[in-house]
Chain A
Amino acid sequence: MTYGCVLINVDNGKVTQVLEKIKRIEGVIDAFECFGRFDIVVLIQTNEVSELAMITAEINSIEGVGKTETLVAS
């Protein structure tokens, strides 16, 4: 079991629609909007690191998602 945290910057005005898509992804245990350096925080739980990579790739492919930073459990 491994955990990850994805910090996301979203294009202006697209936070809600991006969040709706993210929370439907399997493996996402929590996702919320926040203020400050990032717009969305996502917490992920998977069996393998490779699955984590697939989820981050899926998040990156969502329209409106700009820069992302992924923190992986070690």
Chain B
Amino acid sequence: MVKAVVLIRCRAGTYKDVVRRLREMKNVKLVFSSLGAYDVVSEIEADSFSEIGRIVRKIRSLDNVNATETLVEVETGTGGVSK
């Protein structure tokens, strides 16, 4: 299982629409809107890196999504760090 956090900037005034669409996607585990550098924060989970790529491309193709930044989990050699 691979996790990633996707930070999203939306077109002005459209964050609610983007949040709603993200909540409909099954690999999206957590979504919230935020103030500041990014409008929406989301956590995604997939079986492989290639699937993370597929999901991020899907998010980037959504209407009103202007820019994304994806932080992908890497193994640390300590047997996993997630709770």
Kindly identify which residue among B37, B71, B78 contacts A41, using a CB–CB cutoff of 8 Å. Answer: B71
| Interface bracket on A | 20 to 34
Main secondary structure of the interface of A (DSSP, over half): strand
- Considering the chains assembled together, what is the distance between the CA atoms of A73 and B77 in angstroms? 31
The reply to whether the CB of A72 lies closer than 8 angstroms to some CB of chain B is yes
A-B CB contacts (within 8 Å), total count: 75
Q: Count the B residues whose beta carbon is within 8 Å of the partner chain — how many? A: 25
How far is the CB of A14 from the nearest CB of chain B, in Å?
12
Q: What residues on A are CB-neighbors of B76 within 8 Å? A: 15-16, 19, 33
Residues of B that sit less than 8 Å from A by CB: 3-5, 7, 30, 32-38, 41, 43, 69, 71-74, 76-78, 81-83
